Amino acid sequence: MNDDFTQLIQSSTQRGQATGSAPDLRAARRLLLISTVLTLALWFVPYANVLLYPLRLFVTFIHESGHALAALITGGQVASVTIHPDGSGVTWTSNSPVWGWLVMSGGYLGTALFGAILLVIGRLQGWRNGGRVTLYTIAGALLTITALWGWHSLFTLVTGLILAALLWALARYTSPQGAQFVASFLAVQCSLNALSDLRLLVYQTANHVGDNDAVFMSQAYALPPTFWALLWAGIALVLLFVSLRGYWRTSARRG
């Protein structure tokens, strides 16, 4: 798989240099599809969650960062961001009740929106180093969030530092096309994991299992928790469909 990836990237680079046009995206699109299908398949393989564990922690970081960012945007404050070893997380904020709905929605929708934004950036192929800049930016954001709000938890601190270092290394030592593929891969995985988490949320709310963001929304703004879970799932599906459709059509046209 690594050899195929290297050959495809090298071939893409040579064609781009020869024609002076944007890099050929057919190889990246094909690898993105293969990686996505492989990830979906691994969901049904016993113990595959061990391989996907770093990705699970990354998505949790994005989810909790969505809550934190929503609080800051609405004039609130963030007390802490905590990532647990089981892949769950919690963000403590103080904000106006008027904007509480946005803060509580910021986790699931923030993850889906993050994936959509990365795919939109992936369409800007005239920006040769867009993938590298994207990975550098994510690494810097993770480092900042960890330093500001994750330092009180050793696991959160170590996880944030490792993930930031890994993304920095990928941006630094891979080709521009390779970095673009990694950024697009993360985009799709965040979107898929957001949908998977929302599917679980719908089940939990329908069966009254535990506390979650939908339950808190129901307590604050009425309407059943399942309503909020389904609403978020619908919005996440629209974001994924629109961003993937745009990415796919752009890559096909420029490839």
pLDDT reported for residue 118: 85
pLDDT at 4 over 90: no
pLDDT at 142: 96
Q: Determine which of 23-32, 75-84, 149-158 has the lowest per-residue pLDDT on average.
A: 23-32
Q: Is the pLDDT of residue 208 over 60?
A: yes
In the block, residue with structure tokens 């007390």 = 79
* Contact of 61 with 190, CB cutoff 8 Å: no
Query: What are the tens digits of pLDDT across the range 13-66?
Result: 444 443 334 445 566 667 667 767 877 787 788 777 787 889 899 999 999 999
- Cβ atoms of residues 70 and 106 within 8 Å: yes
Could you tell me the pLDDT band of residue 233, with boundaries at 50, 70 and 90?
A: very high
pLDDT band at 10 (very low <50, low <70, confident <90, very high): very low
Q: Which residue has the tokens 């009425």?
A: 222
Mean confidence (pLDDT) of the chain: 82
178/219 Cα distance (integer angstroms):
46
Least-confidence region, from 8-17, 125-134, 203-212, 245-254: 8-17
Tell me what pLDDT residue 78 has.
95
Per-residue pLDDT band for 9 (boundaries 50, 70, 90) equals very low
Instruction: Give the pLDDT confidence score for residue 119 in this predicted structure.
Output: 79
**Gyration radius from the chain CA atoms:** 19
